Amino acid sequence: MQPTTTDPKRIFLTGASAGIGLATARALSAAGCEVWGTARDVSRLPNDLRGFHSVALDLNDPATLETVFDHALAEAGGRFDAVVNNAGGGWFGPGAEIPPDELLSQFHTLALGPMAIIQRAVPSLRSRPGGLVVNVTSLAARLPLPFGAAYSAAKAALSVFTAGLQMEETAPTRPGEHRVRFVDLQPADIDTGFNRAMSYWRKLNDPADPIAGAVRASLAASDRSMAGAPGPEAVARVICRLVTDEATAARRVLRTVGNLWQAVGGPLAYRFLPRRLMLWTVRKNCGL
């Protein structure tokens, strides 16, 4: 069901300045929703979308996160119908050499920040039927990426957190509260320019380091895969359906989006292949 013009659905969306987040903001706006979209730099947020509200939010700054969310919630009249945790970021290089501040940043952006938003949002979402949280994790939560170990681990943390919440929502509700639906949305490779926006290992182009060649080969394989991947609109369409059609959201607890090989073959490999063989397959696919 599409939201009506008199009572549009109100959505809190992180990472709305580019890629999947921007495509989702456009899709939700076109569907008649009001969107509170976040970015660290609000000048990068769209200014041409009907019903779009810009929110400055840095998921790496836990001290301001609650205040920012509460202000957006008040602007929305004390009600969000859905929260979409989409903000992303990456660091590419050997997992054993990721700088501690980069490691912490990965977990704040991809896991700890979204978890804090969920905790802040749930009371509002419980106040009406149909409250929804869509956590945009990654297929890498199940098929970890070489030289993207921190990214994969943080996405896996949010994925498992989502699964725990899904189970908890089967418990009895308190009087006057409603169950919240949680969806784990796992994109495979999506052509968003993500690789160019990442931070990189400082020795990536060091000819004297024997590991650098393998890191560059893996990055080149990822670039080739991204170039042939669906655009961010493919994920945005799924998110928009989940938000605007309660029956669709009710049927989904885990959804993968991407090309057929990754979106179907990847989960099957995770489910049926022995771990050693699964990791070998991912390694070869990543040029190692």
Looking at the domain assignment, is residue 220 inside a domain? yes
**pLDDT at 6 exceeding the cut of 70:** no
Tens digits of residue pLDDT in 237-258: 999 999 998 777 667 789 999 8
Token pair of 232 as six digits: 């961010």
Looking at the domain assignment, is residue 2 inside a domain? no
Looking at the domain assignment, is residue 145 inside a domain? yes
Catalytic residue among 151, 161, 182, 194: 151
Looking at the domain assignment, is residue 98 inside a domain? yes
Has 200 been annotated as catalytic?
no
| End-to-end Cα distance, the chain | 47
DSSP letter string, 103-137:
HHHHHIIIIIHHHHHHHHHHHHHTTSTT-EEEEE-
Nearest to 34 by CA among 87, 79, 65, 70: 79
Looking at the domain assignment, is residue 4 inside a domain? no
Between 4-8, 17-21, 148-152, 161-165, the lowest mean confidence (pLDDT) is in: 4-8
Token pair of 240 as six digits: 């928009």
Domain harbouring 104, CATH code: 3.40.50.720
CB proximity list for 257: less than 8 A, separation 6 or greater: 185, 186, 187, 188, 190, 230, 234, 235, 238, 263
Question: What pTM, to 2 d.p., does this model score?
Answer: 0.92
pLDDT of residue 1: 43
Looking at the domain assignment, is residue 24 inside a domain? yes
In this structure, how many other beta carbons lie within 10 angstroms of the beta carbon of residue 202?
11
Could you give the number of structural domains in the chain? 1
**pLDDT at 274 exceeding the cut of 90:** yes
Looking at the domain assignment, is residue 195 inside a domain? yes
To the nearest whole number, what is the mean pLDDT of the chain? 92
Token pair of 239 as six digits: 């998110």
H/E stretch holding 255 reads strand 254-257
Domain encompassing residue 111: 10-285
Tens digits of residue pLDDT in 7-58: 899 999 999 999 999 999 999 999 999 999 999 999 999 999 999 999 999 9
Looking at the domain assignment, is residue 1 inside a domain? no
